[in-house]
């Protein structure tokens, strides 16, 4: 959403492509929040995302998914916002042609157990060329300064 609280055309394209392209996100209930010129991805707590009921703790695969999709969606938003210098054959600014970047590698550091709370993530692009991008992502729950996981990803922009 922009500052006036309305979703712009590029954000609508991105939202549609992400959720149609990755049905797992609908299952998890992942939401995209565009506020203050920053993308924040949220994962609402539900019992189905618990991996260890004894602690309880969020499943590591769910945490990794949250981090990776945050990186990929942040890259798409950058491509849509940047204009022609980042356009490639499959990232032209249209609904039919936008594709999520392809993951080359993705590494996750699990810093502590994810509690049974809502989780949030944001990404920072460290390098982005015409074909390759490097992104770092952090995830937190009740305190943004206290991460429970972080990730680094390398992506192919096709």
The answer to whether 128 and 153 are in contact (CB under 8 A) is no
Instruction: Tell me the Ramachandran region of residue 29: left when phi exceeds 0, alpha when psi lies from -120 to 50, beta otherwise.
Output: left
Domains of the chain: 9-156 (3.10.129.10)
Residue 100 scores a pLDDT above 50: yes
Query: 59, exposed or middle or buried, with CB in 10 Å at 0-12, 13-18, 19+?
Result: middle
Report pTM: 0.83
Task: Tell me the pLDDT tens digit for each residue of 29-49.
Answer: 998 888 777 889 999 999 999
Task: Tell me the pLDDT tens digit for each residue of 67-98.
Answer: 999 999 899 888 877 665 444 444 444 444 56
């Amino acid at each position: 959403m922009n500052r006036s609280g309305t979703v712009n055309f590029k954000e609508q394209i991105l939202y549609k492509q992400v959720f149609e392209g990755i049905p797992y996100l609908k299952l998890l209930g992942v939401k995209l929040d565009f506020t203050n010129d920053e993308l924040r991805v949220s994962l609402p707590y539900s019992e189905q995302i618990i991996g260890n009921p004894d602690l309880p703790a969020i499943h590591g695969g769910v945490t990794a998914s949250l981090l990776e999709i945050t990186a990929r969606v942040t890259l798409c938003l950058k491509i849509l916002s940047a204009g022609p210098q980042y356009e490639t054959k499959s990232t032209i600014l249209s609904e039919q042609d936008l594709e999520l970047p392809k993951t080359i590698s993705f590494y996750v550091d699990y810093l502590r157990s994810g509690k049974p709370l809502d989780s949030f993530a944001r990404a920072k692009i460290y390098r982005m060329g015409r074909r390759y991008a490097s992104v770092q992502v952090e995830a937190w729950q009740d305190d943004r300064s206290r991460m429970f996981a972080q990730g680094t990803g390398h992506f192919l922009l096709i």
